[in-house]
Structure 1
Amino acid sequence: MAAVRLAVCAALAAVFAALFVAVPAQAADGQITGLAGKCVDVAGASSTNGAAVQLYDCNGTTAQRWSNPGDGTLRALGKCLDVVDRSTADGAAVQLWDCSGSANQQWVVTSAHDIVNPAANKCLDVRDNTSANATRLQIWTCTGGSNQKWNAPAGSGGGGTPSGFVVSESQFNQMFPGRNGFYTYSGLVAALSSYPGFAKTGSDTVRKQEAAAFLANVSHETGGLVYVVEQNTANYPHYCDASQSYGCPAGQAAYYGRGPIQLSWNFNYKAAGDALGIDLLHNPWLVENDAAVAWRTGLWYWNTQSGPGSMTPHNAMINQAGFGQTIRSINGSLECDGRNPAQVQSRVDRYQQFTSILGVSPGANLYC
């Protein structure tokens, strides 16, 4: 079981504290309500392309009546909520525009009251966290803050399972019949809110392929979700990079592989903890003691880190680069390009098994 030993360039995601945010009251009549109980509003009730979308006192007008038709769009005045210039950058404004089916018009309304653009993996956000009328709305790295919490009209669909995840609990149990009780399905589902674009981007086939790819790599890393920590204890002191300014405050031997992707090294614990809003640098043991934290670290790596590859595993699957690229991003420096074909084959076998359970084809480019 290979531990992840890959340096991190930067933490690209931020904390999602949805479980600790008060849930606002339900919206009515197609309104989307948020900060200070105000509404998502089209400036001047204009249906012109480029009309600004803002926060405003709720007034019951058509400028504040939104529909969620179940195709991933949010619509008002016959047009779609759209990210300006198809940007994925923090601070990109949103507007009203002719519906085109493009990625910058796709939104996921989550059970945690986030509205996420999966292409950017960012949340609909009230600029500067101010509730003043006419404050422009934008996309921003998801933080779980009150300026990113919304009540929106429910749409159709939702993943086909009670949890909203494309993998049902019975399918999960079928994939991992001998799993350690630590790795609970509920822990995984609780962790999904940290990266709401995961397994919710693209077609139903792509979503299931991504879920299968993540779980296949997880299965390989943990011996079928059996191992919570790295088994070779002789390696434990190796994972402290003392050149880092913050050092190894939990101890020289505290940063061994843990969790579903076997997070290791002090710099990875620091980056993952910073991204998730958890102090994993000083308390790395949380990853082996809290199932939701463990799953969150796996999703952090999957959604934000490229490792020795050229793309994140999340992007590899939603852009259909193929399962092989997820292997490259996780452990490619040790396995890909003929370095360890048996390990690659093990991952591919598991991926093909899991896609079969989910009833989808595995797609192309399975090897690295």
Structure 2
Amino acid sequence: MNDNNNIALFIGLLLEENHNRNFMRIERRRLRDQMNPFEMPDAQFMKMFRLKKQCTINLINALQQFLPTKNANAIALPKKVLITLNFLATGSFQNSVGSNTWLSASQPSVSRAVNEICSTIAEYLLPTWVQFPTTEESIRLVKQGFFLKYGFRGVLGAVDGTHVEILAPPENDINHPPYVYINRKGKHSINVMLISDVDCRILAVNARFPGSVHDSAVWQMSSIRNHLQLQHEAGHTNMLLIGDSDYPLEPWLFTPIAIPRNIQEEIFNRKLSSLRNTIERTNGILKGRFRCISRLRTVMYHPTQAAKIIYSCCVLHNICKAANMIDEDIEMRDENDVSDLVGGGNVDVSIHQRGIEARNHYIRNM
């Protein structure tokens, strides 16, 4: 289906939406509802929605099988998607999105659209678009990328945590007591674990833990850690991640040497620092592109829905990477990131010792 046909389809859906309402509402909103965002200049479209037009059409088509129109008064799916993309892109309040000339809708309608689209993306598209390498070919490609750029062997990704500020849950929320979301800076947040490849594509994301949980504790409860540990114990010792000093040193997770004792260890630290810039840049691009999770914004949602918004941003980030979109307007360092007490979580002494031995062996053979 070409762009002209898709534009015609979009207009048709919006016109159908209008005809399902009463005559007075049609007369009052005819001009605004019939304006078609796909007729915008490309640069303006990407500024408003962050995705290219074709990527947006592909997203609408992908969601269509999961979100059929249920009743005559429902907002057309293309409009729901564009409302959501605009909200994620700008981080503005919903009534601002709803009053947009191109996307006129009431505030409750905007809220429902964001909830519905983000929930659907998180449930159905996240497993496809955010995948940790597990096949022989995907593992080879990720390792090759890190080796060619940084000279590190066996690296499957760089890991880091970033905080996304959220609305405090209600005081009577038993399952999400507000105090556990308070981070070291006294703000309510979700501590999001991200893993990226050398090209800043997100390989894994975990947005289930509140802001009071340390990066190392999030890692220790991660399914990725369990997977790498099992692989290591099965003899696949050339599979590891790179993290900063907030993470525990393990045979499958290398961290910097606190006090280098020789030139080899200094070289290792420098290479490690350069490689870790990958995940810092990924975080900056993600939050710069989707301002709703920027350090300058607060996600005004309950933690469960805020997590779905975060997952949706990660999916859309990878869609942008797949389309070779330029990483513009990025925050290279998330200054609002916080780490709680260093060494959070319980460290397994035997695994830590094995990590020291694995790292020393790696350094000797660099």
| TM-score bin, normalised by smaller chain | under 0.3
Q: TM-score, normalised by structure 1?
A: 0.26
Structure having the higher Rg: 2
TM-score by length of 2: 0.26
